Chain A
Protein backbone atom coordinates (compact mmCIF):
# COMPACT_ATOMS: atom_id res chain seq x y z
CA UNK A 1 0.00 0.00 0.00
CA UNK A 2 1.13 3.55 -0.54
CA UNK A 3 0.39 6.48 1.67
CA UNK A 4 0.82 10.19 1.17
CA UNK A 5 0.87 12.54 4.15
CA UNK A 6 0.40 16.28 4.07
CA UNK A 7 0.44 17.56 7.63
CA UNK A 8 -0.36 21.21 6.98
CA UNK A 9 -4.11 21.74 6.49
CA UNK A 10 -3.67 25.43 5.79
CA UNK A 11 -0.94 28.02 5.41
CA UNK A 12 -0.73 31.78 5.06
CA UNK A 13 2.06 33.45 3.14
CA UNK A 14 2.83 37.05 2.38
CA UNK A 15 2.92 38.10 -1.24
CA UNK A 16 6.41 37.84 -2.79
CA UNK A 17 7.63 35.49 -0.08
CA UNK A 18 8.43 31.79 -0.47
CA UNK A 19 6.38 28.99 1.04
CA UNK A 20 7.19 25.32 1.57
CA UNK A 21 4.49 22.67 1.52
CA UNK A 22 5.35 19.41 3.21
CA UNK A 23 4.73 15.95 1.77
CA UNK A 24 5.94 12.59 2.97
CA UNK A 25 5.21 9.28 1.36
CA UNK A 26 5.53 5.62 2.08
CA UNK A 27 6.22 2.91 -0.48
CA UNK A 28 8.44 -0.11 -0.84
CA UNK A 29 8.39 0.14 -4.62
CA UNK A 30 11.78 1.34 -5.96
CA UNK A 31 10.28 3.01 -9.04
CA UNK A 32 7.74 5.73 -8.43
CA UNK A 33 6.89 9.31 -9.23
CA UNK A 34 5.84 12.21 -7.07
CA UNK A 35 3.46 14.85 -8.34
CA UNK A 36 2.16 18.18 -7.14
CA UNK A 37 -1.13 19.65 -8.30
CA UNK A 38 -2.85 22.95 -7.67
CA UNK A 39 -6.60 23.11 -7.32
CA UNK A 40 -8.13 26.61 -7.35
CA UNK A 41 -11.67 27.18 -6.18
CA UNK A 42 -12.89 26.44 -9.71
CA UNK A 43 -12.07 22.78 -9.06
CA UNK A 44 -9.69 22.05 -11.91
CA UNK A 45 -6.50 20.15 -11.15
CA UNK A 46 -3.43 21.88 -12.52
CA UNK A 47 -0.25 19.84 -12.90
CA UNK A 48 2.72 21.68 -11.37
CA UNK A 49 5.74 19.44 -11.14
CA UNK A 50 6.93 15.85 -11.29
CA UNK A 51 9.87 14.05 -9.66
CA UNK A 52 10.91 10.53 -10.54
CA UNK A 53 12.40 8.31 -7.88
CA UNK A 54 15.56 7.82 -9.91
CA UNK A 55 16.02 11.47 -10.79
CA UNK A 56 19.28 12.80 -9.38
CA UNK A 57 18.34 16.44 -9.56
CA UNK A 58 15.46 18.12 -7.81
CA UNK A 59 12.73 19.08 -10.27
CA UNK A 60 12.06 22.75 -11.01
CA UNK A 61 9.34 24.43 -13.05
CA UNK A 62 9.43 28.19 -13.01
CA UNK A 63 8.58 29.35 -9.49
CA UNK A 64 7.99 25.77 -8.34
CA UNK A 65 10.69 23.49 -7.09
CA UNK A 66 10.53 20.12 -5.45
CA UNK A 67 12.83 19.38 -2.53
CA UNK A 68 13.22 15.62 -2.92
CA UNK A 69 14.83 13.79 -0.02
CA UNK A 70 14.60 10.14 -0.95
CA UNK A 71 16.04 8.67 2.24
CA UNK A 72 13.56 10.64 4.30
CA UNK A 73 10.75 9.90 1.82
CA UNK A 74 9.82 13.51 1.54
CA UNK A 75 8.92 15.61 -1.49
CA UNK A 76 8.25 19.14 -0.36
CA UNK A 77 7.03 21.78 -2.80
CA UNK A 78 8.59 25.23 -2.66
CA UNK A 79 6.74 28.13 -4.23
CA UNK A 80 8.97 31.15 -4.58
CA UNK A 81 7.85 34.77 -4.91
CA UNK A 82 4.23 34.00 -4.01
CA UNK A 83 1.49 35.73 -5.96
CA UNK A 84 -2.15 36.31 -5.07
CA UNK A 85 -3.09 33.84 -7.78
CA UNK A 86 -1.24 31.11 -5.91
CA UNK A 87 -4.05 30.95 -3.36
CA UNK A 88 -5.47 27.46 -3.82
CA UNK A 89 -5.44 23.91 -2.51
CA UNK A 90 -2.25 21.98 -3.23
CA UNK A 91 -2.13 18.22 -3.45
CA UNK A 92 0.84 15.90 -3.31
CA UNK A 93 0.41 12.58 -5.10
CA UNK A 94 2.41 9.47 -5.81
CA UNK A 95 2.23 6.86 -8.52
CA UNK A 96 4.15 3.63 -8.81
CA UNK A 97 5.52 2.41 -12.10
CA UNK A 98 4.41 -1.13 -11.26
CA UNK A 99 0.87 0.17 -10.87
CA UNK A 100 0.70 2.19 -14.10
CA UNK A 101 1.25 5.36 -12.12
CA UNK A 102 -2.25 5.36 -10.68
CA UNK A 103 -2.16 8.27 -8.28
CA UNK A 104 -2.70 8.26 -4.54
CA UNK A 105 -3.26 11.71 -3.14
CA UNK A 106 -2.52 13.40 0.14
CA UNK A 107 -5.17 15.33 2.03
CA UNK A 108 -4.04 18.63 0.59
CA UNK A 109 -2.83 21.98 1.93
CA UNK A 110 -4.74 25.21 1.49
CA UNK A 111 -2.48 28.15 0.73
CA UNK A 112 -3.69 31.70 1.19
CA UNK A 113 -1.49 34.48 -0.13
CA UNK A 114 -1.88 37.82 1.64
CA UNK A 115 -1.23 41.15 -0.06
Chain B
Protein backbone atom coordinates (compact mmCIF):
# COMPACT_ATOMS: atom_id res chain seq x y z
CA UNK B 1 0.00 0.00 0.00
CA UNK B 2 1.04 3.62 -0.50
CA UNK B 3 2.10 5.82 2.41
CA UNK B 4 0.25 9.11 2.27
CA UNK B 5 0.88 12.20 4.34
CA UNK B 6 -1.16 15.37 4.63
CA UNK B 7 -0.25 18.77 5.96
CA UNK B 8 -1.53 20.34 8.11
CA UNK B 9 -3.20 17.67 10.21
CA UNK B 10 -5.56 20.28 11.63
CA UNK B 11 -6.08 24.01 11.59
CA UNK B 12 -8.39 26.68 12.91
CA UNK B 13 -8.96 29.51 10.46
CA UNK B 14 -10.82 32.78 10.33
CA UNK B 15 -13.69 33.19 7.92
CA UNK B 16 -12.72 34.85 4.66
CA UNK B 17 -9.22 33.40 4.63
CA UNK B 18 -7.82 30.52 2.58
CA UNK B 19 -5.99 27.34 3.53
CA UNK B 20 -3.86 25.12 1.33
CA UNK B 21 -3.69 21.42 2.20
CA UNK B 22 -0.85 19.29 0.91
CA UNK B 23 -0.96 15.60 0.04
CA UNK B 24 2.30 13.69 -0.47
CA UNK B 25 2.59 10.05 -1.55
CA UNK B 26 5.71 7.90 -1.20
CA UNK B 27 5.36 6.44 -4.68
CA UNK B 28 3.99 7.40 -8.06
CA UNK B 29 0.25 6.89 -8.31
CA UNK B 30 -2.16 7.08 -11.19
CA UNK B 31 -5.14 8.69 -9.54
CA UNK B 32 -5.42 11.23 -6.75
CA UNK B 33 -8.71 12.38 -5.31
CA UNK B 34 -9.88 14.91 -2.76
CA UNK B 35 -12.83 14.22 -0.46
CA UNK B 36 -14.68 16.24 2.13
CA UNK B 37 -16.31 14.87 5.25
CA UNK B 38 -18.56 17.32 7.01
CA UNK B 39 -19.21 16.77 10.73
CA UNK B 40 -21.19 13.59 11.36
CA UNK B 41 -21.48 12.92 7.64
CA UNK B 42 -20.10 10.54 5.09
CA UNK B 43 -17.43 11.35 2.52
CA UNK B 44 -18.14 13.32 -0.63
CA UNK B 45 -15.80 13.52 -3.60
CA UNK B 46 -14.67 17.05 -4.40
CA UNK B 47 -12.49 16.44 -7.43
CA UNK B 48 -9.94 14.31 -9.21
CA UNK B 49 -6.48 15.85 -9.27
CA UNK B 50 -5.02 15.42 -12.74
CA UNK B 51 -1.29 15.56 -13.24
CA UNK B 52 -0.34 18.45 -15.47
CA UNK B 53 -3.87 19.58 -16.20
CA UNK B 54 -6.91 21.10 -14.54
CA UNK B 55 -8.71 19.07 -11.91
CA UNK B 56 -12.05 17.43 -12.67
CA UNK B 57 -14.70 18.69 -10.24
CA UNK B 58 -17.82 16.92 -9.08
CA UNK B 59 -21.23 18.52 -9.13
CA UNK B 60 -21.51 21.18 -6.47
CA UNK B 61 -17.80 21.96 -6.30
CA UNK B 62 -16.07 24.68 -8.31
CA UNK B 63 -12.50 25.60 -9.05
CA UNK B 64 -12.78 29.11 -7.63
CA UNK B 65 -13.68 27.70 -4.23
CA UNK B 66 -11.45 24.61 -4.26
CA UNK B 67 -8.45 25.15 -6.55
CA UNK B 68 -6.35 22.01 -6.90
CA UNK B 69 -2.86 21.47 -8.22
CA UNK B 70 -1.00 18.30 -9.09
CA UNK B 71 2.45 19.12 -10.43
CA UNK B 72 3.68 15.51 -10.43
CA UNK B 73 2.63 11.93 -9.72
CA UNK B 74 3.31 12.08 -5.97
CA UNK B 75 2.01 15.46 -4.82
CA UNK B 76 -1.20 17.48 -4.84
CA UNK B 77 -2.65 20.49 -3.05
CA UNK B 78 -6.21 21.53 -2.29
CA UNK B 79 -6.98 25.12 -1.36
CA UNK B 80 -10.15 26.01 0.49
CA UNK B 81 -10.79 29.62 -0.47
CA UNK B 82 -12.73 32.40 1.18
CA UNK B 83 -13.70 30.09 4.01
CA UNK B 84 -16.95 30.15 5.93
CA UNK B 85 -17.99 28.06 8.95
CA UNK B 86 -19.75 25.68 6.55
CA UNK B 87 -16.32 24.65 5.26
CA UNK B 88 -15.46 23.13 8.62
CA UNK B 89 -14.78 19.51 7.68
CA UNK B 90 -12.20 16.82 7.41
CA UNK B 91 -10.48 16.97 4.03
CA UNK B 92 -8.92 13.75 2.81
CA UNK B 93 -6.83 12.88 -0.18
CA UNK B 94 -6.85 9.39 -1.59
CA UNK B 95 -4.78 7.58 -4.16
CA UNK B 96 -5.24 4.61 -6.40
CA UNK B 97 -1.98 2.82 -6.95
CA UNK B 98 -0.81 1.19 -10.10
CA UNK B 99 0.61 -1.86 -8.37
CA UNK B 100 -2.41 -2.73 -6.25
CA UNK B 101 -5.08 -2.20 -8.85
CA UNK B 102 -8.28 -0.72 -7.69
CA UNK B 103 -7.64 -0.42 -4.00
CA UNK B 104 -7.77 3.15 -2.80
CA UNK B 105 -5.86 4.44 0.15
CA UNK B 106 -6.52 7.58 2.12
CA UNK B 107 -4.28 10.08 3.78
CA UNK B 108 -4.74 10.81 7.49
CA UNK B 109 -6.96 13.82 6.74
CA UNK B 110 -6.89 17.51 7.59
CA UNK B 111 -9.36 18.62 10.24
CA UNK B 112 -10.40 22.19 9.45
CA UNK B 113 -12.39 24.45 11.73
CA UNK B 114 -13.51 27.83 10.46
CA UNK B 115 -14.54 30.43 13.02
Q: Is the CB of A103 within 8 A of B108?
A: no
Is A35 positioned at the interface, with any CB of B under 8 Å from its CB?
A: yes
Chain A hits for B1, CB < 8 A:
47
A100 and B31 form a contact (CB under 8 A): yes
Distance between B13 CB and nearest chain A CB, rounded to angstroms: 18
Measured between beta carbons, the chain A residues less than 8 angstroms from B90 are 43
Residue of B48, B96, B111 near A43 (CB, 8 A) is B111
Task: Determine whether the beta carbon of B106 is less than 8 Å from that of A47.
Answer: yes
Report the minimal beta-carbon distance from A27 to chain B, rounded to whole angstroms: 15
Residue among A43, A47, A93, A104 having the largest count of chain B Cβ atoms under 10 Å = A43
Q: How many residues of A contact B (CB 8 A)?
A: 24
B45 contacts chain A at the CB level, 8 A cutoff: yes
Size class of the contact patch on chain B: 20 to 34
Q: In the complex, which residues of chain A have a beta carbon less than 8 angstroms from the beta carbon of B108?
A: 42-44
Residues 30-57 of B, flagged 1 when their CB comes within 8 A of A and 0 if not, give 0101010100001111001000000000
- What A residues does B105 contact at CB under 8 A? 47
B64 part of interface (Cβ distance < 8 Å): no
Is the beta-carbon distance between B48 and A102 smaller than 8 angstroms? yes
Q: Which of B43, B109, B111 makes the CB contact (< 8 A) with A103?
A: B43
Could you tell me which residues of chain A, from 30 to 58, have a CB within 8 Å of some CB in chain B? 33, 35, 37, 42-47, 50, 52
Contacts of A43 in B (CB 8 A): 37, 90, 108-109, 111
- Which residues of A66-106 are within 8 A (CB) of B? 91, 93, 95, 97, 100-106
A8 CB, nearest partner CB in chain B, Å: 14
Using a CB–CB distance below 8 Å, which chain B residues touch chain A? 1, 31, 33, 35, 37, 42-45, 48, 58, 90, 92, 94, 96, 102-106, 108-109, 111
Identify 15 new A-B residue pairs, CB closer than 8 A, beyond the known A45-B106, A91-B43: A42-B108, A43-B109, A44-B106, A44-B108, A44-B109, A45-B92, A45-B109, A46-B106, A47-B103, A47-B104, A47-B106, A50-B102, A101-B96, A104-B45, A106-B42
